[in-house]
Chains A and B, each alone.
Chain A
Amino acid sequence: MGVRAALRRRAVARPAVLLAAVPGGTPSRLAVERAVRAAGWPLVEGPAAADLLVVAGRPAPGAAGWWDELYDRLPGPRARVSVAEPEHAARALSAGRDLLRAAGGAAARPARPSGRHGGPGPGGPVVAGPVVAGPVSDHLPLAERGDDRDGLRLDVLRLPLGPVLLDWPAGLVLRLALQGDVVVSATMDPPSPAPAAGGPPFWDEPWLRAARGEPVARAAAARRLCAAHLDSVGRLLGVAGWAALAGSAHRLRDGLLTGADPAAVRRGARSLVRRGERSLTARWMLRGLGRLPTALARRAGVTGPALAAGGDAYDRFRCWLAEIERSAGLLTAPGLLGAGERVGPRGRLGGGRPPSAALLDVLPRLVEGSEFGAARLVVASLDPDLDELSRAAAHG
């Protein structure tokens, strides 16, 4: 037992983290990503590869069962922690590792009764956190058939996609109908209201505060804008399978948010932007995806980079890169933000609807008919921020 326990403890020295961000939890998500990178732990795509489930933000009350179900998909040994406040991220992660280490000595989690077998399986104590989800059922219906664009009648697989995916807008749930790997239709679940305790949407904060008459330094707003676009670009590159450049974008973003030196940021941003702009493969892979012409964007009420780009995913990528370089140049700008300056990272703030609402309106139309990977790229190239919407939902 001694050797086995020691090996189990050793195995979770750098646990693999499944990060589940909740709408409104952007600061916590960023803090967790930063802490995970600092600790050198891997962030994984799904529960099969995960040891530690980290919930970033405050889940809506009443969603507890859903989180239990997600946790239940981790094979174990496993643990979960939640990070409601960004400053607790590092502590929560090490607490999670301690839970895993403690779990290592004991037997792994007990087998739950499954729908088929009925009776309880062999096993030891529950490792960390109660497991209350219902039995896994295998009585699923088969996919039904529907008309295909090629004039055939083929299986249509209905698939709810999200909300916990890597490089995916936190809280977004797309209900896809797939024929093969092509999206034939997509609808969106209404965003869940954020808990009342949360502040304004993290990425829009400087402009919203300035609109309320608070003094906000222009340099601070530029910092937030640059970080927001770096976050978006990093996620787009992550989905596009360019992990190296996505990593640089995220490192740069974290540096900005923790007060890195403007000159260093400018240098880093310039090198990132050059590499992104020069990549012919990126152009080849993003061209023609999710075309949103200016006229259509304007009619849908889209503002910000998606409108300015006025084209496909590659245009939006280039527009973000240009904005990154521009805002990196404003990191030392003097003066305060005027109350009338209300253009955040995703578009015009204030007024009736947050900018992400318009992005979400056009999203289903843009993904329909595209291959699955292309659809994910389209979502990442729009990068709607559901924090904005969940605030709106909570307030009215």
Chain B
Amino acid sequence: MSEWQPVFVVLGVALAGVALLYAAGRWLAGPAEPAPAGAFAGGLAPAEHAASRFHVRWYAVAMVFLAFDMEMLFMYPWAVVVAEVGAAAVVEMFVFLGILLAGVGYAWREGAFRWA
């Protein structure tokens, strides 16, 4: 666990630094309470709350990403053992990646990467 000890020290120092930043800002900038303001889009008052259900048109890309992201979890430990396991590890991994890339090709043909 000792290799993690410095990580926590760094995190603690960084946190203290950010806290110091906010304290300095408060000392320097006057009233502690944040200034109330209207949202800005050129100067006119917004007609509605901006925090609406935002239509993410790239959700199909997110699905493709998720497939790859899960795969990457296997790829990190795989990278360590390739030399030991040998050719079988390489073949299996790249067949898997090939299948995923075929999926990417299909998604591309279906227009999943064009959303605007």
Contact = CB atoms under 8 A, between A and B. Distances in A.
A68 B52 CA distance: 28
A7 interface: yes
Contact of B46 (A140, A144, A374): A140
How many interface residues does chain B have, given as a range?
20 to 34
Contact of A111 (B31, B52, B55): B31
B42 to A, nearest CB: 4
Contacts of A20: 43
Looking at chain B's contact residues, the main secondary structure is: loop
Interface in B22-65: 27-31, 33-38, 40-50, 52-57
Nearest to A370: B116
Contact of A182 (B35, B37, B116): B116
Interface in A298-352: none
A7 B57 CA distance: 47
B87 to A, nearest CB: 41
Contacts of A66: 43
A114 interface: yes
Interface stretch (A162-170, A210-218, A220-228, A270-278): A162-170
Contacts of A4: 27-28
B53 A155 contact: yes
Contacts of B38: 69, 72-73, 136
B48 A73 contact: no
Nearest to B55: A180
A200 interface: no
Interface string A72-87: 1111110000000000
Interface in A91-137: 107-112, 114, 121-124, 136
A158 B48 contact: yes
A144 B52 CA distance: 9
A140 B47 CA distance: 7
B47 A160 contact: yes
A15 B75 CA distance: 50
A67 B37 CA distance: 14
A55 B34 CA distance: 25
Given A7-B28, A108-B30, A370-B116, A75 B35 contact: yes
B37 A73 contact: yes
A173 interface: yes
Contact of B48 (A47, A72, A140, A152): A140
Contacts of A155: 52-55
A143 B37 contact: no
A151 B66 CA distance: 25
Contacts of B50: 157, 159
A160 B49 contact: no
Interface string A228-258: 0000000000000000000000000000000
Interface string A254-285: 00000000000000000000000000000000
Nearest to A136: B36
A361 interface: no
Contacts of B28: 4, 7-8, 11
Given A20-B43, A155-B55, A182-B57, 13 more contacts: A48-B40, A70-B43, A76-B30, A108-B29, A108-B30, A122-B33, A140-B46, A140-B48, A142-B48, A143-B48, A158-B47, A164-B42, A181-B54
